[in-house]
Amino acid sequence: MTPHDQSGLDWRGSVPVSRRFDDPFFSLAGGLAETRHVFLAGNDLPARLVPGFHVTETGFGTGLNLLALAQVATVPVRFTSFEAYPLTVADLARAHGAFPELADLSAQLRAGWGGETLSVGHVTARIVQGDARETLPAWDGVADAWFLDGFSPARNPELWSDALMAAVGAHTAAGGSFATYTAAGHVRRALAAAGFAVTRAPGFAGKRHMTRGIRP
């Protein structure tokens, strides 16, 4: 293990930890299980997937959420993720190494990394590079389900601001949903103000709550 490489990451075992935000990219208690619990089940996926369904994400990180979605998608779906600080392909490979059951899918992700779109299983993915505070409000798409996956609101407040949550709501189809691991009160209130019916659900791995919602 290289505790202090040049890429802005530290590693706790196979989990990358951002130096910029001083936070791990996914749960130390099991990233893939967390993704399935919070982001897939929290959005009632894969049950809602139909051809053309559009999943959208704040914070692409290692792409683990995309990979977990691709693992369960049996019809062609779209995925758009907003990311300001893309990882290198070497860091992606190191993080993906912890998930051998996703090896084929993660190889597809890395093979397309840097291109305009990525094909991973049945998912066609686009990474919108830049600060989501600018790129998300300017985006011309509409989401059916959001994975809200910034670093913790205390450490990465710019990805959870009232204005950004309002933009999330404005870019959500009627009947669309969001899910996030955080239960922070100001995030829940911002999402309610953005037009979502917001509920709390049991969190992952000892966290009391997570948050999910539907836009009527």
Ligand X SMILES: C[S@@+](CC[C@H](N)C(=O)[O-])C[C@H]1O[C@@H](n2cnc3c(N)ncnc32)[C@H](O)[C@@H]1O
Q: Which residues bind ligand X (CB under 6 A)?
A: 25-26, 59-65, 82-85, 131-133, 149-151, 156, 158-159
Structure tokens at 202: 């049991």
**Phi, psi torsion values for 207, nearest 5 degrees:** -75, 130
Q: How many CA atoms lie within 13 A of 168 on its CB side?
A: 36
Whichever of 30 and 197 has its CB closer to ligand X, that residue is 30
Whole-angstrom Cα distance, residue 137 to residue 103? 34
Give the residue with the Cβ less far from ligand X, 35 or 197: 35
> DSSP H helical segments within the chain, as ranges?
31-35, 64-72, 89-96, 103-112, 132-138, 162-170, 185-193
Judged by CB, which is closer to ligand X: 53, or 82?
A: 82
